Structure 1
Amino acid sequence: MSLLSNHPRSVKLLRWGIRDYAPSWALQEELFKSVEEGKLLRRNGQTVQYPVNYLITVEHPPVYTLGKSANAANLIYPEQFYIEKGAQIFKTNRGGDVTFHGPGQLVVYPIFDLDQFFTDIHKYLRFLEEAVIRTLAEYGIIADRSPGETGVWIDPKGLQPRKICAMGVRAARWITMHGLSLNVNTDLRWFDYIIPCGIRNKAVTSLKEELNREVPLQEVEEKLLRHFKELFEFQWHR
């Protein structure tokens, strides 16, 4: 049975550390189903409590993921090339094209029942972007959105536009899964082997690249979580 709460917008934080992509995806699906079950119990009058939402942070070993609308040609090389490099490849049920997850990257998967927040996917995506933008501002990095290109960018309208955070989500029955990946200390060479998010002629960057120093991943995580809490106005579930 789904974990339930007396309070709407109760979010349980799950820090998964370093975890392979496949079991992470499977666990997301399980949590998604638990939230869905909780919604049905409440809708059918079997409980007055709300399903608990989840916010997952994780760091994946090297993996390339393709969204539902991905163009396979954006994987520049044959699959064997990536395997020999030590990376896995997965086709997923999220939105978006191809992206990379790997060491030094902060990945965040919100499993939110948007009926408890707002039923607006576009607003949801903008809130995800805003949480990252506010986090980067704490490091003196001015980031912004790029019209028509979901994610967070630096200098999106300038001479050197570069993406620092990719996003790809899935929502069904107003429950979300998948999420965002913020390059903190990521080895950017991994992006040389793909056309990231299907966007040509634009670079990818990281906090390390912009600041010319490594940044503790946990430090960035704490800042990002604080901005999530402020924007979505939830309470942590204990």
Structure 2
Amino acid sequence: MYQQPNKQTVFRHLGLIDYQEAWDYQTNLFQQTVQQKLQNRKNGEAGLPFTPTQNYLLFCEHPHVYTLGKSGKEDNLLLNEEGLHAKHVQFYKINRGGDITYHGPGQIVGYPILDLDNFFTDIHKYLRLMEEAVILTLKQYGIEAGRIEGLTGVWLDYEKQQNPRKICALGVKASRWVTMHGFALNVNVDLSYFNNIVPCGISDKSVTSMARELGTEVAIEEVQEILKGHLVELFDMELVQESQV
């Protein structure tokens, strides 16, 4: 039996949420989706009907935290335990791809938990569409951004690369075509926290934010709405619910 794609996507804004709490939250949704896919396979073998898998798009902000991906080097964290405590920053080793990054207030963190069987089974395309949503969002604010070959994320001065700087980081995990983790767009974030790490393991390029580039703080709620709209359009999602959690 063939599973009909379900592009319905539940949007939830989790607000300012502890990193571990958000990680547990998205992990639960991720595992539920994977288990449903396994059950659907059994149902198919038994000639029973499928239950469509659900997709989720989560937005949030985190208190100050550094996260290190599976392929990252702990040496890229430039603070010891005492330094972390002094700056009130948490540190987690997590199960996404990529190296070390920072999350904090003033940043839009997006966690799509999507069953890519409902959209397309191509991780490269998945990453590029997330980047494209950010690029289109920044364009509406007069910020020209793009990609640098061989590097994930969204960059400024991406062509001449005289002063290339990252404005959005990406790092994902996928299993059975179900995704988790996602992206972090620097809007009004305190960039000084990036000085305590080698962001994404890249030592010869800097980090920036919308506020730094525009010379003023930006209404983050407005950016969220624009970014969400581009994600919905690019992925051809059917947004079925919006709720504060």
TM-score range, shorter chain: over 0.9
Structure 2 counterpart of 1:151, one-letter code: G
**What's 2:29 paired with?**
31
Q: How does 1:129-168 map to 2 (within 5 A)?
A: 129-157=131-159, 158-168=161-171
Kindly report the root-mean-square deviation, in angstroms, between the aligned alpha carbons of the 2 structures.
1.2
> C-alpha displacement at 1:14, in angstroms?
1.0
Q: Per-residue CA shift, 1:129-175, capped at 9, x if unaligned?
A: 00100000010111000111100000023211000000100000110
Structure 1 counterpart of 2:195, one-letter code: D
**What's 1:94 paired with?**
96
Q: For residues 117 and 74 of structure 2, what CA distance do their matches in structure 1 show?
A: 34
Change in 2 beyond 3 A, CA 1:81/1:51:
same
Q: Secondary structure at the match of 1:231?
A: helix
Q: How does 1:24-173 map to 2 (within 5 A)?
A: 24-45=22-43, 46-157=48-159, 158-173=161-176
Q: Secondary structure at the match of 1:144?
A: coil
Structure 1 counterpart of 2:19, one-letter code: Y
Query: When the two structures are superposed, what TM-score results if normalisation uses the length of structure 1?
Result: 0.95
Q: For residues 14 and 200 of structure 2, what CA distance do their matches in structure 1 show?
A: 25
**What's 1:235 paired with?**
238
**What's 1:3 paired with?**
none
Instruction: Determine which structure has greater relative contact order: mean sequence separation of CA pairs < 8 Å that are 6+ residues apart, divided by chain length.
Output: 2
Does structure 2 conserve the Cα–Cα contact (< 8 Å) formed by 1:7 and 1:49? no
**What's 1:187 paired with?**
190
**What's 1:206 paired with?**
209
4+ residue segments displaced more than 6 Å: none
> C-alpha displacement at 1:103, in angstroms?
0.5
Q: For residues 7 and 49 of structure 1, what CA distance do their matches in structure 2 show?
A: 11
Q: For residues 224 and 73 of structure 1, what CA distance do their matches in structure 2 show?
A: 33
Q: For residues 170 and 24 of structure 1, what CA distance do their matches in structure 2 show?
A: 15
User: Quick check: 1:12 aligned with 2:10?
Assistant: yes
Aligned residues: 233
Q: For residues 162 and 188 of structure 1, what CA distance do their matches in structure 2 show?
A: 12
Q: For residues 38 and 239 of structure 2, what CA distance do their matches in structure 1 show?
A: 22
> C-alpha displacement at 1:237, in angstroms?
2.1
> C-alpha displacement at 1:230, in angstroms?
0.6
> C-alpha displacement at 1:43, in angstroms?
2.6
Query: When the two structures are superposed, what TM-score results if normalisation uses the length of structure 2?
Result: 0.92
Structure 1 counterpart of 2:32, one-letter code: S
Aligned identity (percent) is 51
Q: Per-residue CA shift, 1:55-74, capped at 9, x if unaligned?
A: 00000000000000111110
User: Quick check: 1:217 aligned with 2:215?
Assistant: no
